[in-house]
Amino acid sequence: MLLSGTDRRRQLITAGVGTVLTLVMGLVLFVGFRIATEMRANIAALQTASTLQTYPDDITRQLASLRDRLEARAYSGQALEDLRGTVRRFDRQLKELNATGYVHSQELTRALQLWQEYGPVIEPVVSFNGQPYVDSDTAGSTLSRDGRTHYAEVKRAQLFATDNSRTLQVQLATLATSLQRDASGAAARLRTLLSIGVLAALVLAAAAVWFQFTRARHERAAREAQDQTRDILMTVREGFFLLDAEYRIGSVWSDALTHMFGRKDFAGLTFEELLKNLVPASTLATATKYIKLLWGERAHENLMKSINPLGQLEITMDNGHGGKETRYLQFDFHRVMGPAGIKQVLCAVGDITSSVLLARELQESQDNANAQLDMMLAMMHVDPLQLVSFLDGAETGLKLVNTILKEPARTDAEFRKKLSGLFRELHSIKGEASALSLSSIASRVHTLEDIVSELKKKAELSGNDFLPMVLKLDELLAHLRSVREMAGRLTALKEGAHAAPAAALAAVPAPAPVQPAAARAPQQFARRAEDLVPTLHALAERLAQDQGKRFKLKLAGLGDVPAHYVGTVKDCLIQMLRNSAVHGIESPEIRQALTKQDVGVVSVAFQKAADGFELVFEDDGAGIAPDTLKAAAVRRQLVSEDEAAAMDTRTAMALIFRPGFSTQDGISMDAGRGVGMDVVARSVYALGGKIGVSTHPGRYTRFKISLPAGAASSAVA
């Protein structure tokens, strides 16, 4: 707000008068303090001088009393002690009076000289500590030799004190009169000075009243402007504050800032301190650098806005109930220019949490819709019976997982045993879901595997550590139910589409009656055995695409797999096919460098053997090097370096089937868990079968699984 020339002159005059009067008041107070200090010293000296006037007579009287007692041969110790106390007090107070520095008079100087003359005659008396009397049977008490000397000194001191006490007393009385006169003069000066101070205060008060009167109109306007500004800052939903050249927040900010950051003390706070503990260190460093760039004279403001790293800032803060909440803030910066350049930077902060969450909800809805569409398209390519069979098996496996989670455990070893069981069940379900291209189910099971993997890394486990897994398991079971429901709808649509043309035909024979489940069981198992072929081919195509490799899958004899072995053969082939795609088959570039065909070959053969059945799985990939297996086992701390060095080739190859073993460091949807071949071996051993592996580095890897015939025949029967 601009001021007129008259107002400016009035303010300058008022300020000048106020300054002069303030200086006068300060001088009055300073001088008054000095005078008051001097008065206090004079009064103390006056009291001391008045007290000292009585001492000369006391000393003379006590000397006379001491002489009388010596003459009467009476006890003189108390009289001598009284004299000593009086002399010491007089000497101390007289010296203290002189040492204050506030008393400068001839009377004090003369009194000190007279007291110094007392010294030679009175000092021998007060310093006497001998025995003044000698007792005898004939003469009684008489003065001893020391007593006679002491008596002479007392008599001489008494005569000296009688002659000079009056003079000393007069000097001290004159000194007291002088001090009283000085104190009265100081009091008069202080009264005068206080009168001047009161007058100056009245003038200053009058000037203040006049200045206040002249400023009333401007203050009213300023208050109105402040009220309007405060109303604006209290009403706006954005947070506003100013940053100075040192990146500190000014003394004014909007109330919305308090709600956004959960604090009230912003004044003097640096921008870095404002965001500290709310954002990651990397984000804080980037934001700090950006703020510093805003103060560059050559920085283009529109360009700076386009590269604003704080356009959407995620912060985490207390929600007031002992928990944390995430908010999203949007910062906008505007430079405030002054005559000398950039004066301040105006920061506007908006809470865009609702917008961000709404956008995320829309994105999640779209993703869910796309996922459901993808799942529906994938389900359309899966045989309904095969899909229902998978869902039944998956739900059974997840119920087993739930049973494992509910098993009571107390020790760390018992908890880790539960983890191993969970890993095997989840890995089998994920493998079959991947084989059927049910990515939504496979990804959810993969998330459960991640939780189990993180739990295995913990130093010590407790029951509470498994709670997140229970929640994820419930979500997966709900998802399976939705898949089953969708599969039912698709089946109904397909059946309806087939039934419509049939209803238009006039002569159609009646459908055959539905067979009981027991009667359909062999046909269903035979159909599932036949379905292994398209399932494995689809899995091979997906793995080749994901791994960036080229290979063809050759299958033989899978139609002869007994019903009892369909599930085990399926799980084994899925896992071994994934291992070949990830670890075995090389990329086309590497195969060319090794003078191999660009397209690799993975062959599967199932056939009858003399004592049962035989499944052979072989790929023409990189093979397995024992040294590589040993190094991976040492790296995963499954064996020590000494144990690895002592292993022969056969023992090293057996590491493939050890739980937790994998030659891949990273974890993906198809490898890295170290649980796949463990599941294969356990499944084969559970049926009374055997599994063996042979390899030639750079040429091939072959797995041979032998299954007994008795279990299969008994199952079919």
pLDDT band at residue 519 under the 50/70/90 scheme: very low
pLDDT band at residue 6 under the 50/70/90 scheme: low
**Is 507 contained in some domain?**
no
User: How confident is the model at residue 658, as a pLDDT?
Assistant: 80
pLDDT tens track for 96-137: 877 776 566 787 888 888 888 888 888 898 888 888 888 877
User: How confident is the model at residue 522, as a pLDDT?
Assistant: 38
User: How confident is the model at residue 415, as a pLDDT?
Assistant: 75
**Is 546 contained in some domain?**
yes
DSSP 580: I
**Which CATH number goes with the domain that contains 246?**
3.30.450.20
**Is 509 contained in some domain?**
no
Q: What length does the chain have?
A: 717
**Which of 164-168, 318-322, 684-688 bottoms out in mean pLDDT, i.e. has the lowest?**
318-322
Give percent above pLDDT 70 in the chain: 84
**For residues 10-26, average pLDDT:** 74
Residue 77 and residue 66 in contact, taking contact as beta carbons nearer than 8 Å: no
User: How confident is the model at residue 705, as a pLDDT?
Assistant: 92
Q: Are residues 57 and 141 in the same domain?
A: yes
**Is 234 contained in some domain?**
no
**Which of 57-71, 305-319, 640-654 bottoms out in mean pLDDT, i.e. has the lowest?**
305-319
**For residues 702-714, average pLDDT:** 74
DSSP 667: -
pLDDT at 518 over 70: no
Residue 272 and residue 284 in contact, taking contact as beta carbons nearer than 8 Å: yes
Q: Are residues 187 and 284 in the same domain?
A: no
Q: Are residues 342 and 401 in the same domain?
A: no
| DSSP character string of 165-203 | HHHHHHHHHHHHHHHHHHHHHHHHHHHHHHHHHHHHHHH
pLDDT tens track for 497-512: 555 554 544 444 444 3
**Which CATH number goes with the domain that contains 414?**
1.20.120.160
Q: Are residues 354 and 392 in the same domain?
A: no
**Is 65 contained in some domain?**
yes
Q: Are residues 137 and 93 in the same domain?
A: yes
- Identify the burial level of 463 via C-beta atoms within 10 angstroms of its C-beta, where 0-12 means exposed, 13-18 middle and 19 or more buried: exposed
Which of 496, 516, 549 lies at the terminal end of a domain, its last residue? 496
| Main-chain phi, psi angles of 348, to 5 degrees | -115, 125
Which token pair is 646?
């002592």
The whole-chain average pLDDT of the chain stands at: 78
Which token pair is 697?
């580095």
Q: Are residues 39 and 124 in the same domain?
A: yes
**Is 125 contained in some domain?**
yes
* Dist. CA 183–CA 190, nearest whole Å: 10
Supply angle C-alpha 265, 354, 360, rounded to 5.
130
User: How confident is the model at residue 2, as a pLDDT?
Assistant: 43
Q: Are residues 69 and 102 in the same domain?
A: yes
Domain span at residue 137?
5-209
Q: Are residues 554 and 669 in the same domain?
A: yes
**For residues 157-168, average pLDDT:** 87
pLDDT band at residue 210 under the 50/70/90 scheme: confident
pLDDT at 338 over 70: yes
- Give one word for 700, left, alpha or beta, with left for phi > 0 and alpha for psi -120 to 50: beta
Total structural domains in the chain? 4
Q: Are residues 34 and 152 in the same domain?
A: yes
pLDDT at 90 over 50: yes
pLDDT at 248 over 80: yes
pLDDT band at residue 527 under the 50/70/90 scheme: very low
Which of 192, 209, 226 lies at the terminal end of a domain, its last residue? 209
**Is 502 contained in some domain?**
no
pLDDT at 262 over 70: yes
User: How confident is the model at residue 372, as a pLDDT?
Assistant: 63
**Which CATH number goes with the domain that contains 606?**
3.30.565.10
Q: Are residues 473 and 530 in the same domain?
A: no
pLDDT tens track for 30-85: 887 777 777 777 777 777 878 888 888 888 888 888 888 888 888 888 988 988 89
Q: Are residues 203 and 244 in the same domain?
A: no
User: How confident is the model at residue 511, as a pLDDT?
Assistant: 40
pLDDT at 603 over 90: yes
User: How confident is the model at residue 667, as a pLDDT?
Assistant: 61
Radius of gyration over every alpha carbon of the chain, rounded to an integer in angstroms: 55
User: How confident is the model at residue 717, as a pLDDT?
Assistant: 30
**Which of 193-202, 280-289, 657-666 bottoms out in mean pLDDT, i.e. has the lowest?**
657-666
**Is 668 contained in some domain?**
yes
pLDDT band at residue 367 under the 50/70/90 scheme: low
Sequence-ordered list of residues with C-beta below 8 angstroms from that of 261, at least 6 positions apart, any chain: 239, 274, 278, 317
**For residues 609-614, average pLDDT:** 88
HEC profile of 206-233: HHHHHHHHHHHHHHHHHHHHHHHHHHHH
User: How confident is the model at residue 370, as a pLDDT?
Assistant: 64
Q: Are residues 247 and 150 in the same domain?
A: no
User: How confident is the model at residue 497, as a pLDDT?
Assistant: 58
Residue 34 and residue 26 in contact, taking contact as beta carbons nearer than 8 Å: no
pLDDT at 546 over 90: no
